[in-house]
Structure 1
Amino acid sequence: MTNTAQAPPKVAPQTLGFLLLENFTLISLASAIEPLRMANQLAGRELYRWYTLSLDGSAVSASDGMKVTPDASTTVPLALDSIIVCGGVAPHRSVQREHVNWLQAQARRSRRLGSICTGSWALARAGLLDGYEASVHWECLAAMQEAFPKVALSTRLFSIDHDRATSSGGTAPLDMMLTLIGRDHGRELSAGISEMFIYDRVRGEQDQQRVPLKHVLGTTQPRLLEIVALMEANLEEPISLDELADYVNVSRRQLERLFQKNLSCSPSRYYLKLRLTRARQLLKQTPMSIIEVASACGFVSTPHFSKCYREYFGIPPRDERLSSSAVELVPPVRLGEEAASMLQTASAFEAVPDEPVSGALSALDQARGEPTYASVRLRS
């Protein structure tokens, strides 16, 4: 009888280009690339391939002074699926006309575009974020709002809006990439990567950057900054609005006007938001009971806390706690026939002649001796 079994299809890996701007932040670049490397390792085959790029292929300085020599210049015609702009310090100075022209050309080729840290500035300057929701490091938020009013800037850690994926800085790119990997290849793989990086909680699209209020208001409202500092220091036992007004020597009515003018909400609403935000952190990051969380955030009863929480976040505290539970990982599998097939598939992908070699394959080859190699079964 003829054996009709077929080898798994050789699906080409997704290829990403990381465009390095001068003074990019190294932690953000690593946070974006390392999940791709680990995805390949856990899958046992090349799911992702990546290249670092600069305009002329010469070394680019990170914000900490380290120089990174990219894999290629932007003149090399790579078959990229996505481009991620890596920004950092003073993007308004590091973005050049050549960057803008190249990004616009990539958009015309229908390539997916993204950014990390302050890389959104380059996409916005190229007109490629008009009408899109986008995230950027909070330090650049006010300047971008002023310079690019057509961009729907968000204070979220990251934003995924159709074919645009933009992230703030630090470790936020890790959360964005884990979310994208989970969408591409399933929750088990994303959870496996988290486990390998000892990353206790993957933050989602709804998680916000903590933007310092003094950065939003500047130094023009010292009384308001003082009141908010008092609120933040007294979440468990909230201070009455009359007491807050007395602390800074204003009337209750002046206090109300101060909040409405600068924060577009009442002081009581702002105080409630601080307490609920703190409650959300405790629900997601600690084993405290809902009763304990309610008490720690100044709510006199659990039903009242649950009502306020549901009204503000659209989900009751109990469901929030359940959604934050750790995902069980798929147990490792032995390197049998399936893993061997994966190895053959990975080996089949070789660099196209005259193209720079991605570090993905060499990293994958080195990972073959790791106990986690091919330990996650991908969804079909």
Structure 2
Amino acid sequence: MKAAAFALLLTAAPALADAPVALLVAGVSRGADGVTVDAVMLNDGDVPVRRVVPATIEASAPAGDGAAPVMLRRAAGQAEAVIVPAHGFARVHYLGPVGLAAGLTLSLPAPAQAAAPSAVASAASFAAEPAPYRSADNDGGNHFLANLSAYEPIYAVYGPGTDSDARLQISFKYQLLGQAGKIGPGSPWANGIHFAFTQRLYWNLGAESSPFRNVDYLPELFYLVPARSVTDRIAIGGQFGFRHESNGRAGADSRSFNTIYVQPVGTMPLGDWKLAIGPRLWAYVGSREDNPDIRRYRGNAGLFAEVGQDEGWRLSLTTRLNPGSGKGAVDALVSYPLDRLVWRELKLYAFGQAFAGYGENLLDYDRRTTRLRVGVGLVR
């Protein structure tokens, strides 16, 4: 069944007075455990804003000649906060009791506003990022922890029968200047400068003493361009920067090179799903004496594509290709929130990972491999 759609303007925090957010109830569907209220937060402003999704909200439903109060609770798997892009929207979901009558209409009050500063969604990361980390109990005077946030996915996956059974990835980024998340229109241009660090570990669990086959280190300095709407359905953003890649070894096993790159990304909604896609172009700079033929296997271009739901399935693909040599690779990640499968308080994701092509890690940059692994992750 469908509820009558209507919008309710949320009261903006003072710092976001030029970026009002409206809440639009799109529909209500009935299930075995109650009804699900599907809504979208609309942002007519020129900058993305962060909004808390309250654990519970009050609504009203028809009862006789009047209305009865109804308490709705945030759906399992629904994020506690969302980023609403400029001139865009973010979906939110609530659950109501089984006994709600057909033809339900709701009058929702404004959800509480986020107390933390607004954050800007990175187009390359596709969905709204988790809120920047800050320890309320023990920040120890580290006033800039809010500028630290996740970057690439953080996960651990395992697939037996190879010389790199397990693959682990840790990644973060840091906004070097300005207030956390304050980038884009109306903010100093330098606020877009970020430092990022990603570490990938390839673990040979099947060998005696379980050594790491290789560890790749990827520090980078980049400029983040937040997504901006170009039509009522498409937003474009991205980043460009400098990346160093090395495996920290010496002698014949040493691998390292530097690139400068540009990564535009376009995003658009597909019903309950979102699509993000964009090319990545790079050029090699500096010495390549550890791997002089790296371009033959990695080329100078690749494609990033991601499709999925905020609180459901997500598939991410990263490719690279040298058309001249025919060498390249495809790296894929698929994920699903475990709190929708196991326990609603379990804030982890089930991960599947696949790789086919040349150079899954730097040590094997000129070696063709195929890998399938499964595991869990913290960030996708």
Q: Which is richer in strand? A: 2
Superposition TM-score, scaled by structure 1 size: 0.24
Which structure has the bigger radius of gyration?
1
Q: Which is richer in helix? A: 1
Superposition TM-score, scaled by structure 2 size: 0.24
